[in-house]
Chain A
Amino acid sequence: MISKLFKFHGGVHPPEHKLESTTTPIRPVALPKRLVLPLRQHMGNLPKVQVDIGEQVLKGQLLAAAEGMISAAVHAPTSGTIVAIDEQPIPHASGLPDVCITLEVDGEDRWIEHGPLDYRSLGKTEVIERLRQAGVVGLGGATFPSHVKLREDARHPVRTLILNGAECEPFITCDDMLMRERAAEIVQGIEIMQYLLGAERCIVGIEDNKPQAAQAMRAACAESAIPIEVAAVPTLYPGGGAKQLIKVLTGREVPSGKLPTEIGVQCFNVATAYTVHRFIHHGEPVISRIVTVTGNVAQPGNFEAPLGMAISELVQSAGGAGAGTQSFIMGGPMMGFALPFPQAPLVKATNCIIVASANMFPPPPPAMPCIRCTRCADACPADLQPQELYWFAKSDNFDKARDYHLFDCIECGCCSYVCPSRIPLVQYYRYAKSEIIALDRAKQAADLARERNELRLARIEREKQERAAKHAQKAAGAKAEAAGDDAKKAAIAAAMERAKAQKAEVAPQNTDNLAPAVQAEITEIDARRGEAAETQEKQGS
């Protein structure tokens, strides 16, 4: 049993809406006719396509292999034929398409050859490599490739392994149901993770609004060969944020800009542990996930759905979108986003689909001015001063925003949630962050160009000096016969003088005799350029 829990600052208690989707067990879905698998379902490098159009593939077959260390593979969720490899709509807030592999399902659901791995005799490095090609990523939402986090690091040994079953966002219940129904398998995954990391302590953190899940996990952990603690943490959004959960369980804060390993902690979602188990003990790569479908549907609940299934089709499994449906939100109502295309495919990051009607999430009234009431600061789990950040973001005072630690904002939405003026604060922070990143890039590019130019000038200067030295040498040798030297010099000077005069005559030609309008335009452009240079300089300083 865990002895003591700690607190993080702030947090909010939004209505939970979790009961709706936890009345029925996890349900399977009928195999769709077609699956669309985005190559990029994780953070990191784009994996390399391993199949051709027209190729027959089996369930679990590698479709795209991980490229480089931070990357994850993509596999066929069922058997069928590859019919396209092209850009398709993906579930992303931007609405921009991305490269996807389209699989026409044959309905036979035939597996490739697969089986368990004896991970203890295989060697840790080899297990990590296998996980890299198994497509295992963090299923809490960030989809960071898990094998990277499971490598042992001599500089930062992991003493505490934390399993995140907090699931703090309203509406989402996929981890809850997974823990209730498949606790033993999660625990087997935890055992593998503990072995790979050599962690001394394992803690599963579950918010205390999920007593059944906690009960199931406790029972399963009691059976385990290794000691695993199950901690019921207070239900307080965003208590499931990795940094917040680590603070609550260990009392320690992950240093800003650093990884949890810095303080000897590594944190995974419970669903990730489940997929590790499925791969190691059954040889199944990540080809499906549990997803909550809730909101304006007849039969809300959790579904075990193949990756690549159209989200609109998945919603059909829950009884279809009810009347008055306005949008489909992927993720929770605090940090999720409205899908630009409901037919976009289910991906590894899709933990929840909220079918939203207008009265579920009424549009906020027009924003009022900030009255500096600091309810946002009281609610901020990162201990920021959101009212100051808002001010800086609004006035494009990006340097100040950075000084006030804008980049420590986790965009949890607590500030917007409590704001009496209904200011969409998170949007302002996102705007400021993206502007700062863009400016940084532009500055880097400018610095690079300047550096190149300086190198070039230095080279020219060096070559000139070398030439001069050579000439001087020659001249020294021929000094004796340099009687007419002075005359020569005079001639050269005269020639240079002529050239200069000519140049002066030629140079202004293209700006002479211009129409006043054109002249004005040129002046304006020059002024703008001057300004741009000035701002760039300011940013540089």
Chain B
Amino acid sequence: MNNPPYLTGNASVSIIMLKVLLALLPGVAAYVWVFGSGILVTLTLASLTALASEAVMLKLRNRPVMPFLLDGSALVTAWLLALALPPLAPWWLVVVGTLFAIVIAKQLYGGLGYNPFNPAMIGYAVLLISFPAIMTQWPAPLELAKAQLGFADQLHYIFGRILPEGVSLDAISSATPLDYLKTQLKLQHGFAEIAQAPIFGVLGGKGNEIVVGAYLLGGLYLVQQRIISWHIPTAFLLALVAMSGVFHLIAPAHYAGPAFHLFSGASMLCAFFIATDPISGPTTPKGKLIFAAGIGVLTWLIRSYGGYPDGVAFAVLLMNICVPLIDAYTQPRVFGHSK
């Protein structure tokens, strides 16, 4: 009662994180619709691992456990990682990735508010580098899959890598559009020809474009709720469109167009949910534009020339490194100062 202001608003970290989770729900629903309910298992697994490891780490670090568990940040990290993983990934992959994200990328750096890197992307990058084969093995969208797994079958597969009799891995999996594009371009096929493949839909990967659209919807909700500002999504998407657009115009056979880049891979998830992580991102408006544009350019570069099909995780982590510098050089003009 001793220090003003005595009036405070009712914003809280928990509400912010809760709204982020809420904004992810359309994407999750679309995911289930397109790829089946396996993602729900992955989400649950990641959530439980995140909460448990967060609690243990807080205890070890002598920090209050409940307030930090309830802030919801661990769940957001868990969900983002889970949504970035292949839906039928083995259980241990989910657990290892989440543990890495929470224990090393977040808690060992000091917990909420102190992590210089996006924890979910650290978890993802570690898995991608360590287990590239599993990480690029995606199930085919249900409408394309030659065989479909029931929920019980999916559980068996996630926890024991056991497929029902008569169903082969090939029957349920397929290359992701980004992956397919990469291999086909290497084989000297033109983009227009590649895009005729059944895994491609109108804008991006068949089915995947629905998920991406749902992320966009959730993202717009976050902007409307002022949980995130317009700067990062806009700059990221514009940079991606600019890079892919220019190169597609110059050499349409060798480079996918902007629509494909926007609606494939983790573009939308990155634009509204990953790059917008406030803790590991810059704070100034101009800085946010630079940061997000950097991610957009790097994502396109890695997708087009790098060794991995998608570049979002590495692009985000690389730009995280630049955040202190970006902030320092983009300080806005202060009231009454000329600059």
Contact = CB atoms under 8 A, between A and B. Distances in A.
A533 to B, nearest CB: 31
B9 A363 contact: no
Contacts of A418: 9, 11
A388 B333 CA distance: 14
Given A408-B335, A422-B12, A368 B283 contact: no
Contacts, number: 135
A contact face: mostly helix, strand, loop, or mixed: loop
A422 B16 contact: no
A426 B2 CA distance: 12
B6 A361 contact: yes
A368 B3 contact: no
Contacts of A335: 4-5
Nearest to A336: B4
Interface range, B side: 35 or more
A15 B4 CA distance: 16
Interface stretch (B88-96, B107-115, B234-242): B107-115
Nearest to B337: A256
B6 A424 contact: no
Contact of A366 (B8, B67, B113): B67
B169 interface: no
B7 A373 contact: no
Contact of A368 (B71, B327, B334, B338): B71
Interface string B1-27: 111111111011101100000000000
Contacts of A381: 335
Contacts of B8: 364, 416-417, 419, 422
Contact of A420 (B16, B64, B336, B338): B16
Contacts of B71: 368
B335 to A, nearest CB: 4
Contacts of A371: 13, 16, 73, 112-113, 278-279
A383 B281 contact: no
Question: Counting chain A CB atoms within 10 Å of each CB, which of B279, B331, B335 scores highest?
Answer: B335
Interface string A330-371: 010111111000000000000000001000010111101111
B335 A256 contact: yes
B164 interface: no
B334 A382 contact: yes
A81 interface: no
Contact of A372 (B1, B278, B335): B278
Interface in A237-295: 243, 247, 253-258
Interface in A406-453: 408, 413, 416-422, 424, 426-427
A12 interface: yes
A252 to B, nearest CB: 10
B336 A333 contact: no
A383 B286 CA distance: 14
B112 A256 contact: no
A338 B111 CA distance: 35
Contacts of A374: 278, 283
A408 B15 contact: no
A361 B7 contact: yes
A420 B327 CA distance: 21
A422 B333 CA distance: 26
A334 B5 CA distance: 4
A338 B1 contact: yes
